[in-house]
Amino acid sequence: EVQLVETGGGLIQPGGSLRLSCAASGFTISNNYMNWVRQTPGKGLEWVSVIYSGGGTYYADSVEGRFTISRDTSKNTLHLQMNSLRAEDTAVYFCARGRSNYFDYWGQGTLVTVSS
Amino acid sequence: DIQMTQSPSTLSASVGDRVTITCRASQSISSWLAWYQQKPGKAPKLLIYKASSLESGVPSRFSGSGSGTEFTLTISSLQPDDFATYYCLQYNTYWTFGQGTKVEF
């Protein structure tokens, strides 16, 4: 059974850093492309970043240069390093597995709140 | 960037109703469109991919249609478990979601 479990969210001050993790089971993350998607009440669902099976990465313009996606294949875990956090980064962050360029399985999400 | 416009934003319906939700793309996305269902506090669940392909395990009362810029999700006979928010996703160029349609009683 495919499972994705995100951890690492919390309350952080503007300008701070946070690292999210997504532990995967039931499949091997390096054989798939993996994504981070965030959700806010105001902006809805927003794709954030992708890491392909070959290691290539892409980011939404809103996080380019501040966020870094990576994976630890030994632990079958996806990460999102978030630096220079802003109030507008406040959201529930989901990891999602890619299949044929859409997302088939999602984790339950982890809440990130950026506030002083 | 490709923009996705979903309508309506809220839909009031009753059990047994036929429900239709529309998603329009700002440019042609061929059939690269998926539909998701989300309930409060839960992750989105894949219903339809490639505009009209039903995901395994999803009830056949859900169907999708369309191509190019206009797409439709139809629930043929609304069931109590279907009260939720529905989102479209274009995956022709990167990924963009619609704003969501809340189906309520």
Q: Which among A47, A106, A108 has CB closest to B95?
A: A47
pLDDT over 90 (residue A41): no
Please report residues of A whose CB lies closer than 8 A to that of B40.
Answer: none
Alpha-carbon distance values, B65 to A105, B20, B25, B47, B92 (Å): 22, 11, 14, 13, 16
What per-residue confidence (pLDDT) applies to A66?
98
Residue linked to tokens 């939700």: B21
Q: Does B96 touch chain A (CB under 8 A)?
A: yes
> Is A47's CB within 8 Å of B49's CB?
no
Find out whether the peptide bond into A14 is cis, omega within 30 degrees of 0.
Answer: no
**What letter does residue A11 receive in the DSSP assignment?**
E
> What pLDDT does residue A50 have?
97
Q: Which positions of chain B have pLDDT values less than 50?
A: none
Identify how many contiguous H helices and E strands chain A contains and give both numbers: 0, 11
pLDDT score, position B62 = 98
Grade residue A93 by pLDDT with cuts at 50, 70 and 90. Answer: very high
In three-state secondary structure terms, A87 is helix
In the block, residue with structure tokens 């810029």: B69
Best interface-test mutation with A: which of B95, B96, B102 has the largest number of A CBs within 10 A? B95
At A19 the three-state DSSP class reads: strand
Subunit contact A44:B100, Cβ cutoff 8 A: yes
The three-state DSSP-derived secondary structure of chain B is CCCEEEECCEEECCCCCCEEEEEEECCCCCCCEEEEEECCCCCCEEEEECCCEECCCCCCCEEEEEECCEEEEEECCCCHHHCCEEEEEECCCCCEECCCEEEEC
Asked if A93 and A1 touch (Cβ cutoff 8 Å), the reply is: no
CB-based contact, A100 to chain B, within 8 Å: yes
Does the structure show a pLDDT above 90 at A43?
A: no
Average pLDDT over residues A85-113: 96
The average pLDDT across A41-46 equals 87
Taking an 8 Å cut-off on Cβ atoms, the answer to whether B87 and A46 are in contact is no
- CA dist A1 and A7 (Å) reads 19
Using a CB–CB cutoff of 8 Å, tell me whether B77 touches chain A. no
Residue B6 structure tokens: 């979903």
Query: Could you say which of A47, A100, A106 has the minimum Cβ distance to residue B44?
Result: A106
Window A:36-65, CB contacts with B under 8 Å: 37, 44-47, 58, 60
Residues of B in contact with A105 (CB under 8 A): 46
Beta carbons within 10 angstroms of residue B25's beta carbon: 24
Mean pLDDT across A20-47:
94
pLDDT value at position B72? 98
Residue A87, phi then psi, degrees to nearest 5: -55, -35
pLDDT in the model for residue A42: 79
- Which tokens in the block code for residue A70? 């990576």
